[in-house]
Amino acid sequence: MKNSIIIGSGAYIPEKRMKNADFENAEFYLPDSFEKINQPSDLIVRKFKAITGIEERRYADPDQGASEMGTLAAQDAINDANIDPDTIDHIIFAHSFGDISSKSIQSDLFPNLAARVKHHLRIKNPACVATDILFGCPGWVQAAIHADSFIKSGLAKRVLVIGSDTLAKVVDPYDRDSMIFADGGAAVIMEAAETQSGVITHAAVTHAIEELDYLGIGPSHNKSIDQRVQYIKMKGRKIYEYALIEVPKAMKACLEKGGVHLSKISKILIHQANEKMDEAIIKRLYELYDMKVDPQEVMPMNINLLGNSSVATVPTLYHQLVKGELEGHEIKSGEYILLASVGAGMHINAILYQMP
């Protein structure tokens, strides 16, 4: 039986740490009235920590783009898999804003980032096709779904799947939500194998009526800032309510499609959006099966130290899990994991994977 397995993984975590204390002198404004929030910044930061679980996050260097971080993560994955880069049939790069330079207010998407990675890795094989995917925070999971489809259809034998973003470069410093976002990159090598393990199945949904503008871009909350410049904006309460209802349903649909009961899942790697939200999603999923769970036992988390790096969160979690870098969590051959994400679109997706 031909299946897709992950034969190598890598991650690039920027060195620069931004701790919550670094925001204690920030000025935050309200989104609707554009008035300054009349609360001490240190109080705002403490409330933020209680809700999100974030203590610090990582920022890329000013001139370090998503493609550079993606290349470093990809090289790490190639080394881990011990393969010749020219044997890669396809490169899929998930991102949200392309490369962003400190010298420009525009994002750079031309040429596409996957082509830039191919160039930097010096892959000469012209049959190695390099494509990008724009799918919000669930982009890497969706890219892995696409890679699995290429492999199972016989269109590719080996695919490099990358997720990298520099969200810290597109946040409004006058918006409280800016403290959530971070930078990072991660990658895996997926390969065709005659096995029953690997990617068992996947599921994805898009809600784009009322939900379309839950996450998007908009001007600064501070009216004195050039209102033509656009930043990440989100409706936090709307996203929370949406995710709590729809993400467990999508995860359950994935499990049912694969014929695997939730009780057989060893770990759930969920997009690192918000600690409290992720815990609530996991509890709701188990409730759908009339089961109870301590989320910390099945849900490895790194958001407390890395923040929300968008498309990089799930593959970074995977890499840290298989390398034994997540305290209290390990994974063994034959065990099932569920990877899931939610984000701008609004999109939700999930992959059921059995460790080879």
Domain 200-354 superfamily per CATH: Thiolase/Chalcone synthase (3.40.47.10)
Across 80-109, average pLDDT: 92
Least confident span in 43-47, 182-186, 247-251:
43-47
Distance CA 100, CA 120 (A): 17
Task: Spell out the domain ranges in the chain.
Answer: 2-17+58-196, 200-354
- What integer pLDDT is reported at residue 105 of this predicted model? 66
pLDDT digits (tens, 9 = 90+) for 204-230: 999 999 999 999 999 999 998 888 889
Distances (CA, A) of 124 to 87, 109, 113, 158, 288: 10, 22, 16, 15, 49
Distance CA 257, CA 237 (A): 30
- Please report which residue ranges of 1-108 form alpha helices under DSSP H: 41-52, 66-81
pLDDT digits (tens, 9 = 90+) for 167-183: 999 999 999 999 999 99
- What integer pLDDT is reported at residue 106 of this predicted model? 76
Cβ burial, residue 35 (10 Å; 0-12/13-18/19+): exposed
Q: Which helix (H) or strand (E) holds 193?
A: strand 183-194
pLDDT digits (tens, 9 = 90+) for 328-339: 999 999 999 999
Distance CA 99, CA 63 (A): 9
The two domains 2-17+58-196 and 200-354 share their CATH topology (first three levels equal): yes
> Any idea which fold 2-17+58-196 has?
Peroxisomal Thiolase; Chain A, domain 1 (3.40.47)
pLDDT digits (tens, 9 = 90+) for 3-12: 999 999 999 9
